[in-house]
Amino acid sequence: MLCWKTEPASPAFRQVQALSLFLVATCAAACITGCSAEISKIQSTANLSQSPSASPEPHIPDPVFPPRKINGPAPHFLPIAPSLPLQNASSSSAFVNQIGVVTHLSYTDTLYYTDFPQILSALQTLGVHHIRDGYYPWPATNPIVQNHQQLASAGITTDYVIPYDPTTTPAAIEQFASEVGDVESLEAPNECDTSGACGSSPIQDVVSFLPMIDVAAAQLNVPAVGPSFALQASYPAAGNLAALMTVNNLHIYFGGRNPGSDGWGAEDIEGNSYGSFDYWLNMAAADGPGLGAEITETGYMAYPTTSTPYTLPESVEASYIPRTLLLAFKDGFEKTFLYELIDEVSSPGYGLLRSDLSPKPAFTAVQNLIATLSDNGPGFTPGSLPYTISGGDSNLNQLLLEKSDGSFWLVLWLEESSWDPVNCVPTAVTPENIGIELSNSYHTTTDYQFDSSGNVTQFNQPMNGSGTSLTVTDQVSVVEIKHN
């Protein structure tokens, strides 16, 4: 209701006021154009009829009408509902591009060497574009060099681990790089603190070896990956190496626990337990403060069935391996190399493929995860999506990705343990029902549901108004969301 606070009005003014209110209602009801002009004409006529002795009346501004037809009483304007929070997305192709796998192409007594065509085919089937392998100064005619050339032709590049050898020179590495054509990065010697292959003072020796790798990497214009260590004390003992490397290097294993484990054993200065992602990130910060980090080894020992503590059934690994990749990406790791491609004598159980090259469920899961989230479109800057999730507890994890066509891909899972690694028995994970609310500009289309065999099944994911609901488990779900 509109109110004016004035002195008592004259009869003429009350007449004008009554006529004005009548015309407001009439104009609003019939959307009459020129209503303001009509009111002004009536006001002028009324003013002429006032007594000359009457005091001037206050100016009444022309009424402002709402831009819509009003029927009945004056409208009651409801408060505007708050908009949904914008959630920033990451590039789907960036997630896929962080995935690599460890190989041992120089192990001449394994299928890596004796059946390389099958190895190359398996890598292409898996969908990765990065491997981690060893550097040796082979001649250009060596079959291993030729195998690396085939990798380069297939678009697969290699992070080369440079063994500790004080006679190695940047020139030798550059010559090798020109022959193989697949050098992606150069990495410091592997786990010098426990390998026994890095001199009599392994930590000091590997640190003294870093300048040579740094020079070679700079000349090749590739990253210099820092040293990996197996022991907690080795990282602070090595000191600040940021001037001698481009990126930190970590080996993260979970001892049969789920990848989102809070860890176990000794704690760092912030109270993070050994084995957790936060713990290892703090170790990296001791060597390369301010630098990014890579995981050049992570994985599980898995068998069809197992009663060996700290190993996994293959069905559980099919859940844990994709979640390892997702959590590593969420934590900002630039690359994550799974250890390793095939089971072999020196590291049984770790392969994504069995020793006969048959795929384990984890191989299938990674293959399907890459296929679902791959994006061959042009480069772009990821945007944001307005949405909220209701339901679920603190174990509900999510990762929002975007493809170059503007579609969003929401990855969901429960980060819980489904296997007791000490007693070797399964543990129950209770599914959780959640709701996803989107703005009116978007809708869900498909739910890609992974299972314990690594397979993925597509379901329609319809909207009910502005929301949709689904059930989330410890297996990964990917919800595709498109613009209307």
Domain count, the chain: 3
Mark whether 204 and 293 lie in a shared domain.
yes
Contacts of 445 (CB under 8 A, 6+ apart): 460, 461, 480, 481, 482
- The tokens for 57 are 């009346």
d(CA 398, CA 412): 5
What per-residue confidence (pLDDT) applies to 263?
Answer: 93
Mark whether 346 and 438 lie in a shared domain.
no
Q: Which of 324, 347, 373 is the last residue of a domain?
A: 373
d(CA 473, CA 110): 38
Question: What is residue 330's three-state secondary structure?
Answer: helix
- Mean pLDDT over residues 129-147, rounded? 97
Residue 258 DSSP class? -
Q: Are 177 and 220 in contact (CB under 8 A)?
A: yes
Domain, as residue range, for 369: 90-373
Mark whether 425 and 464 lie in a shared domain.
yes
Kindly report, residue by residue over 91-127, the tens digit of the pLDDT. Answer: 999 999 999 999 999 999 999 999 999 999 999 999 9
Kindly report, residue by residue over 239-276, the tens digit of the pLDDT. Answer: 999 999 999 999 999 999 999 999 998 888 899 999 99
| pLDDT class of 16 with cuts at 50, 70, 90 | very low
Q: Are 251 and 190 in contact (CB under 8 A)?
A: no
- Mean pLDDT over residues 14-37, rounded? 42
Residue 479 inside a domain? The answer is yes
Model pTM score: 0.83
For 10-41, give the DSSP string: PHHHHHHHHHHHHHHHHHHHHT-TTHHHHHHH
Q: Which of 50, 74, 98 is the last residue of a domain?
A: 74
Contacts of 71 (CB under 8 A, 6+ apart): 29
Q: Determine the angle formed by the axes of helices 361-373 and 116-126, rounding to 10 degrees.
A: 50
For the chain, percent of residues with pLDDT exceeding 90: 81
Residue 1 inside a domain? The answer is no
Mark whether 207 and 306 lie in a shared domain.
yes
What per-residue confidence (pLDDT) applies to 82?
Answer: 56
Q: Which of 353, 373, 393 is the last residue of a domain?
A: 373
- Mean pLDDT over residues 227-234, rounded? 92
Find, among 343, 337, 349, 364, the residue nearest to 310 by Cα.
349
For the chain, percent of residues with pLDDT exceeding 70: 83
Mean pLDDT computed over every residue of the chain: 87
Is 160 exposed, middle or buried (CB count within 10 Å of its CB: 0-12, 13-18, 19+)? buried
Q: Is the pLDDT of residue 57 over 60?
A: no
What per-residue confidence (pLDDT) applies to 133?
Answer: 98
Residue 81 inside a domain? The answer is no
Residue 402 inside a domain? The answer is yes
Q: Are 398 and 412 in contact (CB under 8 A)?
A: yes
Kindly report, residue by residue over 65-80, the tens digit of the pLDDT. Answer: 444 433 434 444 334 4
d(CA 445, CA 472): 17
Between 17 and 246, whose confidence is greater? 246
Kindly report, residue by residue over 339-373, the tens digit of the pLDDT. Answer: 999 999 989 999 999 999 999 999 999 999 999 99
Q: Is the pLDDT of residue 470 over 90?
A: yes
Mark whether 425 and 340 lie in a shared domain.
no
Residue 84 inside a domain? The answer is no
What per-residue confidence (pLDDT) applies to 265?
Answer: 85
